[in-house]
Structure 1
Amino acid sequence: MTSGIHHVTLITGNVQANVDFYVGFLGLRLVKRTGGYEDPRQLHLFYGDRSGAPGSLITFLVWQDGSPGRSGAEQVGEISFSIGQASIGFWLERALRHQVKVEGTVQEFGETVLRLRDPDGVIIKLAAAGLPPLALPVSDIPPEHAISRLRGVTLLSETPEQTAAFITAHFGFRMLTRSGASQRLVADSGDSVDVRDASGFWPGAPGTGIADHVAFRAPDDAAVKAVERDLARLNSSLTNLHDRHYFTSLYVREPGGVLIELASDGPGFTLDEPEETLGQQLFVPPDAALDAQDIIATLPQFALPGEDRVVYRDLTHVHRFHTPAHPDGQTLLLLHGTGGNETDLMPLARRAAPNAVLLGLRGRSTESGVQRWFRGLAPHIFDQKDITFESGALDAFVTDAEREYGLDRDHLTALGYSNGANLLAAALLLHPGLVRRAILLRPVMVLDNTPQADLTGTDVLIILGETDAYRSGGETLADALRAAGATVTVKTLPAAHALSDQDNATIAAWLGKEAQ
C-alpha cells in the first residue's frame, strides 16, 4: 500500500513573506495557486518539487492580515523537511544570511535537526535524514544541499497512545521507537509522524501561523473510499469525502483531535496544465468559474522572487492593492460597509472600472464583534469624537499613501458603502481636499454639526435606494455637501440598502463622464 505524507496545510497571514520564505529561501517550487474549495475567495498556495509530487507538498491557506492562532494540543505542531546529512552548516549560514529566525540545532531520534521559524512563526525543521530526493526545482541552492522532500510532522495529542494506534491502523505507518515524550511512527517511504504527549497543554486555536491538517497518502480514490468504509464501520469519528480535482480527499479527526486528511496520489497537479507552467495560473473551483474575475480581484496579489512587487507599508489602516493587468492610471479607494473588510467592494469596483487600481481599506473600529469605521453610541446616535478621529486617520492614510506609494490625488476616486460611505462623507467635510471625487453608496449624514468647509471642485456621486429606510439621511447629506460647494449627483435606484448590478452600471457611467 502507498503510505507516507501527501501534504501539510497551514495558515499564513502574509502571502508575500510566505512566498519569499518557501520559494526564495527554502527553494521549493510554487506548483499551484487556487481559490479554496470551501471558500473560493481564499487563496490557497501549494509548494513542492518540480511536479508537485505527493511527499513534497506544503500548502497554505492565506488569511491575509488575519489574527494569529495559538499552538497547542489537537494540532500539527512542527513540520520537518529532509536534507543531506552534511547540509546543516549550509542551511545555518543561509538562514543567517536571509535573516531567518534560527532556534538552533538539536538531536531528534538520532538525526541532527536545524530548527527555524517561518515568517508566521511556524516551526520548520531541517533534518539531516538523507532521504531519497524527489524531482527538485532549479534554484540557487546547490543540489547536494537542496531540500529533498517532507521528512515528517509532529502531532500534539493529549491521548498519544490512541493517536498512534489510529494512525498505524488506518494510514500505513508503523511504530519505530520512543524518545522522551514522543513516539515516532514511520511509513515505507521513510516519512515520519512524531506523536508528542501534550497532556496539560492549552488546546490549539485556529489562526495564522497554525497548521490546519496533515494529509497522508493513498494510491487512488478507490483506496480513499475503502478507508472511509472502514472508518464508517467503526463509527469512530465523522468523515467527509471530497473531490479536490487534483486528488480525492477524506477528512477525519483522530482520537486526539488532530484533523487528518487521506489524499489520493492522482490525478495530480499536471491534470490541467503541463509541468513546465505549474504555478503560473490561478485556478478557481468549477462551481465558482462564472465569478472567476471577481474572485481574482479579492485575492491578495504577490510576486515570485525577482519579480516586481508592491512593498506594503505600515500605515494607519490595514489595506490591500489589486492591480489589473493593464492599469489605466486611475485608483479607486474603497471603504467597506459594516461587517466587511478591505476586499468587500473589489468585485463591484472591478466591474465598474476594470482597469483601475483598487486600494481597499479596513475599518479600525469594531462593534458587536463586526468591523466598522466608527462607533455608534445607540441606534442613530453616532460617536462624534470617534468620527472626527477616524476622519483624521483616513486623511493621514491618503497623505501617507501619496508619499509611500506615489498615489496621485488627481487620479483618485474614493468609494464607500453604508458605514464606509458615512465616514467618507464626514471626512470630506472635516478635511476638504481629501479627495476630489467621491462615490457614496447608501450614505447618511452622521455629523451632528456641519463644519464650515469649502468643497469647491469636489465631485460627488450619491446612490440611494428607493425603498431604503435610510434614504432621507442620504438626501440630507447631499444638501450639506452642495451647501459646502461640492458638485453632487444623486441617483435613486429601485433598490433597498443592499447593492445591486444597477449600482455597477451607475458608477461606471459616472466615472466615464468624469473622465471626459
Structure 2
Amino acid sequence: MTSGIHHITAITRKIQANVDFYAGFLGLKLVKRTAGYEDADQLHLFYGDAAASPGSLVTFLAWEDGSPGRVGLGQPSEIAFAIRPEAIGFWLTRALTHNIALTGPAQEFGEPVLRLKDPDGIIVKLVGEAGVDGPAPHVTKEIAAADAIQRLRGATILSEKPAATAAFIAGHFGFRTVAEANGILRLASGAGDVIDIRNASGFWTAAPGTGTIDHVALRAPDRPAVEAAAARLAGEGAGDTNMHDRTYFYSLYVREPGGSLVEYATDGPGMTVDEPPETLGTTLFVPKHFRADPDDVRARLPQFSLPGEERMSERDLPFIHRVHRPEMPDGTAVVLLHGTGGNETSLLPFGARLAPNAVLLSSRGRSSDEGYPRFFRRLTAVTFDQKDIVGEAAAFAAFMEGANAAYGLDPEKTLFVGYSNGANMIGAVMLLHPGIVRNAVLLRGMNVLESMPAAGTPEKANVLMLTGEADPYGRFAGDLERLLAARGASVEHRLLPAGHDIGPADLELAKAYKERVIG
C-alpha cells in the first residue's frame, strides 16, 4: 500500500528569500512554478528532489509582503527532511557559514537532529536517518549526493487532542503509532515517513499568515483510493471534505480532530505531466479553470531569480512595492499607483500591456479606508485629510528618489500612471514636489488639495488626463488640469464615453501617449 507524506505546503512572505533558502542553501530543485489554484494572483512554488518524486516535495504559497501568521493549535509546526547520519557535520558547518539560525544536533527518538529556521521563521529539521536512500537526491555545486537531502522525513502537528489526531491519521491514511516520548506521539508509514503529534494543550490557537505551515499532504496510490477515503470519512461524519484535480495529483482535504488541515494526494500523474523532466521548474503554469489571460497573471506574480542567475534585489524603501523586470528592457519605466480597493499588483497587467518592455514599479498606499490601501485618507467622498496628503506626498517623493537610485530608473524616461486615488496622489506630488514626476497619465484624477503652495519656477512636465463622461467625480477633474497647467505642465485632457472604471480606450490612449513623450 502506498503510504507516507506526499508534500508539505507552507506560506512565505518574501519569495526571493524563500528561493535562496530552499533552492540555494538546502539545495532542493525547483520543480514547478504555478499560479495558485485558489487564487491566480498567488505564486505557488514546488521544491523537491531531482525527479520531483512524491515524498520529496515541499511547496510554498507566496503572500508577498503579507501579514505574519501565528503557529499554534490545529496546525503543523515543523518540516523534517531526511539526510544520512554522517551528513550532520556537513550541514552543521554549512548552517554556521551561511549564518542560518540553528539548534542541535540533538537526539530525538534515537536519531541526530539539526533544527534550522527558514527566512519566515518556519522550523526545518534535518534528521539523520540510518540507511536512508532517496530516489533522486538533487546534487549541486556545493552539495554532493552523500550530503544531499534524500526526501521528506516528516512533520510535527500541534494538537490538544493528540490521541484523537493519531487515531484519525492512523485509521485513514496508512500510518501506525510507533513511539511516544516527551509529549509526542510518533506515527510512521510503511515508507518510514513520520508524523509527530505534539500534545500542545493550553497553547494558543493558530492564525493563518506568512511563516506558517498550511497543511500536510499524505500519499494515495490513485484516484479511486481518494474517492474511497472521501466516502469513508463522510460515512463517519468526519466533517467537511472536498476533492480537487490539481493537475499534478488528485486530492481531498479534511481536518483532523485537532483542527489541522490534512490532504490526501495521489502520486500521479506527477510534475512531468505538462513539463519534460529536463526543464522541470522553468515555466510558469496558470491553472486553466481561472480562464484568465496568462500574461495578466504573470504580470501580477512576484519575480525571483534562482541561485546563480542575475538578480535584482528589492530594496527596503518607504512604500511596499513590486518591481517587474521585462525580458527585454528598453530603458523606460512605468510607475503605477492603484485606486481604492487595489494594491501593488492591481495595475501591473495594465502596465505590462501599456509598455511590455518597460520596468514596472508598483507601490501600495500606506493609508487605509475600511481595510483597503489608499495613498491618503478621505473624510467624505470628495474631501480629504490634508495633513495626510502632505505627509504621504513627501514620503512618496522620497520613495521615488530612492527607487530611481536603487533600480536605475531615469526620471525623463519614466511614466507615472495612476488610477483614481493613485492619480490624485500623482497630482498632489506634482503640485507639492515639482520635478519628481516628469510624465504622467492620470486615470479619473481630480485635485485633492485645499490650499496650494506658492508657485515657484515652472517645471516641465507632460500630463495626459483621461476622464469618464459619466464619472460622478469627473466634474472635479478640471481644477487639477488648470492647476497643473498653471505650474508649467503641458496637459492634454480627454473625455471618454465611460464612467469611473477604466477600459480598453484608456489603455490605447495611454500607450500612444507613452510613445509620444518618452518612446
What's the TM-score bracket when you normalise by the shorter of the two chains? Answer: over 0.9
Distance 2:109 2:510 in 1: 64
The corresponding residue for 2:269 is 267
Task: In structure 1, give the amino acid aligned to 2:82.
Answer: S
Superposition pairs of residues 68-83 of structure 1, within 5 angstroms: 68-83=68-83
Letter in 2 for 1:229: A
| Distance in 2 (alpha carbons) for counterparts of 1:468 and 1:23 | 49
Would the aligned equivalents of 1:433 and 1:455 in 2 still touch at CA under 8 Å? no
Q: Deviations over 1:126-161 (max 9, x none)?
A: 011132212012212121111110010000011111
Quote the residue 2:195 is aligned against.
193
What amino acid sits opposite 1:127 in the alignment? V
Task: State the shift of 1:478 in Å.
Answer: 1.0
- In structure 2, the residue matched to 1:4 is 4
**SS at structure 2 position matched to 1:508:** helix
Q: Distance in 1 between matches of 2:413 and 2:190?
A: 61
Q: What per-residue deviation string (whole Å, max 9, x for no partner) do you get for residues 420-456 of structure 1? A: 1111110100000012101111111100012234454
Q: Residue deviations 1:444-482, cap 9 Å, x none?
A: 110001223445420001111111110011122111111
Q: Which amino acid aligns with 2:152?
A: L
Mapped contact 1:71–1:203 kept (Cα < 8 A): yes
Measured in 1, the distance between the counterparts of 2:169 and 2:54 equals: 18
Q: For 2:7 and 2:278, how far apart are their aligned partners in 1?
A: 21
User: Structure 1 residue 295: deviation in Å?
Assistant: 0.5
The answer on 1:97 being equivalent to 2:100 is: no
What percent of counterpart residues are identical? 54
Counterpart residue number, 2:168? 166
Correspondence 1:499 to 2:502: yes
Matched position secondary structure for 1:477: helix
User: What is the CA-CA distance between 1:483 and the residue it aligns to?
Assistant: 1.6
| One-letter amino acid matched to 2:228 | A
Give the deviation of 1:367 after TM superposition: 2.4
Distance 1:397 1:134 in 2: 49
CA-to-aligned-CA distance 1:342-380 (integer Å, 9 cap, x gap): 111011111111111110111111122111111223442
Name the counterpart of 1:508: 511
> 1:262-341 residue pairs with structure 2 within 5 A?
262-288=264-290, 290-341=292-343
What corresponds to 2:479 in structure 1?
476
For these two proteins, the number of residue pairs brought into alignment is 516
Ranges in structure 1 where 5+ consecutive residues have no aligned partner? none
User: What does residue 118 of structure 1 align with?
Assistant: 118
Give how far 1:290 is off. 4.7
Tell me the SS of whatever aligns to 2:506.
Answer: helix
Match of 1:182 in 2: 184
Q: What's the offset of the Cα at 1:283?
A: 0.5
> What is residue 452 of structure 1 aligned with on the other side?
454
1:150 is the counterpart of 2:148: no
Matched letter for residue 461 of structure 1: L
* Cα distance change, pair 253–513 in 1 and its aligned pair in 2 (3 A): same
Contact 1:15–1:302 (Cα < 8 Å) also in 2:
yes
Matches within 5 A, 1:192-231: 192-231=194-233
SS in 1 for 2:293: helix
CA contact (8 A) 1:455 1:481 kept: no
Displacement after TM superposition at 1:403 (Å): 2.1
Q: Distance in 2 between matches of 1:492 and 1:252?
A: 54
8 Å CA contact retained: 1:104, 1:116: no
Please give the residue correspondences for 1:227-246 in structure 2 after superposition, counting only pairs within 5 Å: 227-246=229-248
* Equivalent pair of 1:103/1:117 in contact (CA under 8 Å): no
In structure 1, C-alpha distance between the alignment counterparts of 2:11 and 2:79, rounded to whole Å: 13
**5+ unaligned residues in a row in structure 2: which ranges?**
none
CA contact (8 A) 1:452 1:484 kept: no
Contact 2:434 2:459 in 1 (8 A): no
- 1:230 aligned counterpart, secondary structure: helix
User: Is the Cα–Cα contact under 8 Å of residues 468 and 474 in structure 2 kept in the other structure?
Assistant: yes
Q: Is 1:28 aligned to residue 28 of structure 2? A: yes
CA distance in 1, matches of 2:414, 2:253: 47
TM-score, structure 1 normalization: 0.98
User: Can you list the C-alpha shifts for 1:183-219, whole angstroms capped at 9, x where unaligned?
Assistant: 0000000000001111111111111100111000001
Could you tell me which residue of structure 2 aligns to residue 138 of structure 1? 139
Superposition TM-score, scaled by structure 2 size: 0.98
Distance in 2 between residues matched to 1:51 and 1:442, nearest whole Å: 51
**Structure 2 partner of 1:369:** 371
Counterpart of 1:395 in 2: which secondary structure?
helix
Contact 1:337 1:372 (C-alpha < 8 Å) held by counterparts: yes
Letter in 1 for 2:403: A
Counterpart code for 2:8 = V
Supply the distance in 1 between the matched residues of 2:468 and 2:159 (Cα, whole angstroms).
54
When structure 1 is superposed on structure 2, of 283-292 and 161-170 the one drifting more is: 283-292
Deviation at 1:287, TM superposition (A): 2.7
